[in-house]
Chains A and B, each alone.
Chain A
Amino acid sequence: MTQQQGKIPPEQLRRKCDPLDFTFKTTAELDGRTEAAGQKRALDAIAFSMAIRHDGFNLFALGPSGTGKQTALMHHLETVAPKAPVPDDWCHVYNFEKPRHPKALRLPPGKAPELSGSMDRLVEALLTVIPAAFSSEEYQAEEKSIHEQLQERQAEAIGELEKKAADEGIALIRTPAGFAFAPIRKGEVLKPDEFMRLDEQKREEIEEKIGKLKTDLQSVMSQMPKWQRETQEKIDSLNRTIADFAVRPLVDELKNRYETLPDIGLYLDAVENDIVENFYQFLEKGQEPGEPAKKSRTFNRYRVNVAVDNGGTTGAPIVYEDKPACRNLVGDIEHLSQMGTLVTDFTLIKPGALHRANGGYLLLDARRLLMEPFAWDALKNALRTRQIRIESLGQLYSLISTVSLEPEPIPLDLKVILFGERRLYYLLNAYDPDFSELFKVAADFEDELEADPEGKHSYARIIARVAKENRLRHFSREAVARTVEYGGRLAGDSRKLTTRLQEISDLVHEADFHAESAGRSTVDADDVDRTVEARVMRASRISEKIREATLKNAILIDTDTAKTGQINGLAVYPAGRELFGHPGRITARIRLGKGEVIDIEREAELGGPIHSKGVMILSGFLGARFGMAQPLSLSASLVFEQSYGGVEGDSASSAELYALLSALSDVPIRQWIAVTGSVNQYGELQAIGGVNEKIEGFFDLCNARGLTGRQGVLIPESNILNLMLRRDVVEAVREERFSIYAAAHVDEGIELLTGVAAGKQDENNQWPPESINGKIAARLAGMAEKIRQYSANSETPEA
Chain B
Amino acid sequence: MIIRRIAVAIDCSPHSMASLKAARELAERLQADIQGIFVEDSNLFRLAELPFSCEIRPYNQEPRVIEPAELERAVRRQAQKAESALLAAIENSTLRHSFITRRGLVPEEVVAAALESDLLVLGRSGKSPTCRRGLGSTAQKALVEGKKPLLIMRHGISATEEPCLALYDGSEGAEKALQAALFLTPPEALLHVLILENDPEEAWRMETSIREQEPERADAMEFHHLAGEDAKTIARFIRMLDSGLVVLCDEMRMAKEDIRELVSVLDYPILLV
CB of B49 within 8 A of CB of A218, answer no
Cβ contacts under 8 Å, B94 to chain A = none
CB of A155 within 8 A of CB of B132, answer yes
- Top 3 A-B residue pairs of the complex, sorted by shortest distance between their CB atoms: A178-B57, A176-B74, A189-B46
**A177 at the binding interface (Cβ < 8 Å):** yes
Candidate in B42, B43, B50 with the most chain A CB atoms within 10 angstroms = B50
**A11 at the binding interface (Cβ < 8 Å):** no
A532 to chain B, nearest CB (A): 91
Cβ contacts under 8 Å, B44 to chain A = 173, 175-176
Cβ contacts under 8 Å, A175 to chain B = 44, 47, 55, 66, 71, 74
**A696 at the binding interface (Cβ < 8 Å):** no
Which residues from chain B sit less than 8 Å from chain A, CB to CB? 41-44, 46-47, 49-61, 63-64, 66, 71, 74-75, 77-78, 105, 127-133
Known: A152-B133, A155-B133, A214-B63. A178 touches B55 (CB 8 A): yes
Known: A173-B44, A178-B64, A189-B46. A158 touches B129 (CB 8 A): yes
Given contacts A176-B74, A178-B57, A184-B43, 19 further A-B contacts (CB under 8 A): A162-B129, A162-B130, A172-B129, A172-B130, A173-B44, A173-B129, A175-B47, A177-B74, A178-B58, A180-B55, A180-B56, A182-B43, A182-B46, A188-B42, A189-B42, A190-B46, A191-B46, A191-B49, A218-B56
Q: How far is the CA of A568 from the CA of B49 in the complex (A)?
A: 131
Cβ contacts under 8 Å, B51 to chain A = 192, 195
Q: How far is the CA of A151 from the CA of B134 in the complex (A)?
A: 12
Interface residues of A in 171-212 (CB under 8 A from B): 171-180, 182-184, 187-192, 195, 207, 210
- Shortest Cβ distance from A137 into B: residue: B242
CB of A154 within 8 A of CB of B131, answer yes
Can you name 25 A-B residue pairings with CB atoms under 8 Å? A148-B133, A154-B131, A155-B131, A159-B132, A171-B43, A173-B43, A173-B47, A173-B129, A174-B129, A180-B53, A180-B54, A180-B55, A180-B66, A182-B43, A182-B50, A184-B43, A188-B46, A188-B105, A189-B43, A214-B63, A218-B56, A221-B59, A221-B61, A222-B61, A224-B58
Cβ contacts under 8 Å, A187 to chain B = 105
Cβ contacts under 8 Å, A174 to chain B = 127-129
**A453 at the binding interface (Cβ < 8 Å):** no
Q: How far is the CA of A549 from the CA of B124 in the complex (A)?
A: 119
B236 to chain A, nearest CB (A): 16
**A225 at the binding interface (Cβ < 8 Å):** yes
**A382 at the binding interface (Cβ < 8 Å):** no
**A507 at the binding interface (Cβ < 8 Å):** no
**A733 at the binding interface (Cβ < 8 Å):** no
Cβ contacts under 8 Å, A217 to chain B = 56
Known: A176-B75, A178-B57, A214-B63. A188 touches B43 (CB 8 A): yes
Contact mask for chain A residues 138-171; partner B; CB cutoff 8 A; 1 contact, 0 none = 0000000000100110110011001000000001
Cβ contacts under 8 Å, A189 to chain B = 42-43, 46-47, 50
A-B interface pairs (CB < 8 A), number: 102
CB of A182 within 8 A of CB of B47, answer yes
Q: How far is the CA of A596 from the CA of B41 in the complex (A)?
A: 130
Cβ 8 A contact of B57, one of A152, A172, A173, A177? A177
CB of B55 within 8 A of CB of A177, answer yes
CB of B59 within 8 A of CB of A180, answer no
Q: How far is the CA of A214 from the CA of B62 in the complex (A)?
A: 10
Q: How far is the CA of A177 from the CA of B59 in the complex (A)?
A: 11
Q: How far is the CA of A192 from the CA of B54 in the complex (A)?
A: 14
Q: How far is the CA of A158 from the CA of B129 in the complex (A)?
A: 7
B188 to chain A, nearest CB (A): 26
Cβ contacts under 8 Å, B130 to chain A = 155, 158-159, 162, 172
Cβ contacts under 8 Å, A218 to chain B = 56, 61, 63
Cβ contacts under 8 Å, B75 to chain A = 176
- Shortest Cβ distance from A213 into B: residue: B56
CB of B50 within 8 A of CB of A195, answer yes
Cβ contacts under 8 Å, B64 to chain A = 178
Interface size class of A (residues with CB under 8 A): 35 or more
CB of B50 within 8 A of CB of A179, answer no
Q: How far is the CA of A178 from the CA of B60 in the complex (A)?
A: 10
Cβ contacts under 8 Å, B42 to chain A = 188-189
CB of A178 within 8 A of CB of B49, answer no
Q: How far is the CA of A221 from the CA of B55 in the complex (A)?
A: 12
B87 to chain A, nearest CB (A): 21
Cβ contacts under 8 Å, A195 to chain B = 50-51
Cβ contacts under 8 Å, B77 to chain A = 176
CB of B56 within 8 A of CB of A176, answer no
Q: How far is the CA of A57 from the CA of B141 in the complex (A)?
A: 97
Cβ contacts under 8 Å, B129 to chain A = 158, 162, 172-174, 179
A176 to chain B, nearest CB (A): 4
Q: How far is the CA of A148 from the CA of B77 in the complex (A)?
A: 29
Candidate in A154, A175, A217 with the most chain B CB atoms within 10 angstroms = A175
Known: A190-B46, A190-B50. A179 touches B55 (CB 8 A): yes
B143 to chain A, nearest CB (A): 16
A301 to chain B, nearest CB (A): 35
Q: How far is the CA of A191 from the CA of B44 in the complex (A)?
A: 11
Contact mask for chain A residues 226-256; partner B; CB cutoff 8 A; 1 contact, 0 none = 0000000000000000000000000000000
CB of B53 within 8 A of CB of A182, answer yes
B104 to chain A, nearest CB (A): 10
Cβ contacts under 8 Å, A190 to chain B = 46, 50
- Shortest Cβ distance from B132 into A: residue: A155
Q: How far is the CA of A108 from the CA of B113 in the complex (A)?
A: 79
Candidate in A158, A159, A171, A176 with the most chain B CB atoms within 10 angstroms = A176
- Shortest Cβ distance from B49 into A: residue: A192
Q: How far is the CA of A187 from the CA of B66 in the complex (A)?
A: 20
B154 to chain A, nearest CB (A): 12
A248 to chain B, nearest CB (A): 31
B77 to chain A, nearest CB (A): 8
- Shortest Cβ distance from A222 into B: residue: B61
Cβ contacts under 8 Å, B53 to chain A = 180, 182
A394 to chain B, nearest CB (A): 48
Interface residues of A in 672-691 (CB under 8 A from B): none
- Shortest Cβ distance from B141 into A: residue: A187
- Shortest Cβ distance from A192 into B: residue: B49
CB of B43 within 8 A of CB of A225, answer no
CB of B43 within 8 A of CB of A158, answer no
Candidate in B52, B58, B129 with the most chain A CB atoms within 10 angstroms = B129
Q: How far is the CA of A172 from the CA of B44 in the complex (A)?
A: 11
CB of A221 within 8 A of CB of B43, answer no
Cβ contacts under 8 Å, A188 to chain B = 42-43, 46, 105
CB of B54 within 8 A of CB of A214, answer yes
Cβ 8 A contact of A221, one of B56, B71, B127? B56
Cβ contacts under 8 Å, A184 to chain B = 43
Q: How far is the CA of A173 from the CA of B42 in the complex (A)?
A: 11
CB of B55 within 8 A of CB of A207, answer no
CB of B56 within 8 A of CB of A214, answer yes
Cβ contacts under 8 Å, A176 to chain B = 44, 71, 74-75, 77-78
B2 to chain A, nearest CB (A): 34
Cβ contacts under 8 Å, B58 to chain A = 178, 221, 224
A563 to chain B, nearest CB (A): 117
A181 to chain B, nearest CB (A): 9
B162 to chain A, nearest CB (A): 14
Cβ contacts under 8 Å, B47 to chain A = 173, 175, 180, 182, 189
Q: How far is the CA of A152 from the CA of B74 in the complex (A)?
A: 28
- Shortest Cβ distance from A184 into B: residue: B43
- Shortest Cβ distance from A152 into B: residue: B133
Q: How far is the CA of A217 from the CA of B129 in the complex (A)?
A: 11
Q: How far is the CA of A222 from the CA of B47 in the complex (A)?
A: 24
Cβ contacts under 8 Å, A162 to chain B = 129-130
